[in-house]
């Protein structure tokens, strides 16, 4: 009888979580969000386990300088119900002007699992509109996620 190799299953707290710093200047929103979501879930690691948080912390700066291809800034809209008879709507361009961090946060949120673990993963994403952030003490490593728009 041949001994079968054992499958490694990560346990909560057994995986070291690093901090990454991402500059979103001239990055395409969707491509940036997919890369960030993969890192937050931990799918870049060989010890990825679906029911354990094996992801990293990510600090995104310059979220106000993110770009979208084509005419999406004017054509696409965020819609939400506000309790009255109709939905509220605003274009991506209006949202980028009013709340620049929401574009990145909402794009990543929709790519994470829709459960308690996904909400926990979203807490590890820190998005800032400008180039300043309060996470210097964690010594985030610079990373280049997303593709630069050309």
What are the extents of the domains in the chain? 19-143
Output the CA torsion sign for 12, 107, 139, 132: negative
* Backbone φ/ψ region at 83: left (φ over 0), alpha (ψ -120 to 50), beta: left
d(CA 137, CA 131): 16
- Categorize the per-residue pLDDT at 4 as very low, low, confident or very high, splitting at 50, 70 and 90: confident
pLDDT (tens digit per residue) in 116-126: 999 999 999 99
Q: Answer yes or no: is pLDDT of 18 > 70.
A: yes
Q: What mean pLDDT value characterizes the chain?
A: 92
Are 32 and 20 within 8 A, CB to CB?
no
User: How is domain 19-143 classified at the CATH fold level?
Assistant: Ribosomal Protein L13p; Chain: A; (3.90.1180)
């Amino acid at each position: 009888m041949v001994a079968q190799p054992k499958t490694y299953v990560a346990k909560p707290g057994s995986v070291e979580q690093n901090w990454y710093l991402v500059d979103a200047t001239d990055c395409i929103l969707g491509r940036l969000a997919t890369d960030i979501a993969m890192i937050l879930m931990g799918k870049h690691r060989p010890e990825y386990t679906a029911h354990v948080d094996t992801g990293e912390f990510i600090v995104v700066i310059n979220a106000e300088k993110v770009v979208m291809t084509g005419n999406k800034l004017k054509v696409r809209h965020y819609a939400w119900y506000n309790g009255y008879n109709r939905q509220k709507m605003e274009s991506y361009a209006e949202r980028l002007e009013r709340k620049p961090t929401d574009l990145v946060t909402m794009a990543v949120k929709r790519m994470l699992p829709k459960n308690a673990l996904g909400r926990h993963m979203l807490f590890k994403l820190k998005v800032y509109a400008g180039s300043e952030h309060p996470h210097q003490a964690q010594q985030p490593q610079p990373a280049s996620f997303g593709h630069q728009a050309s």
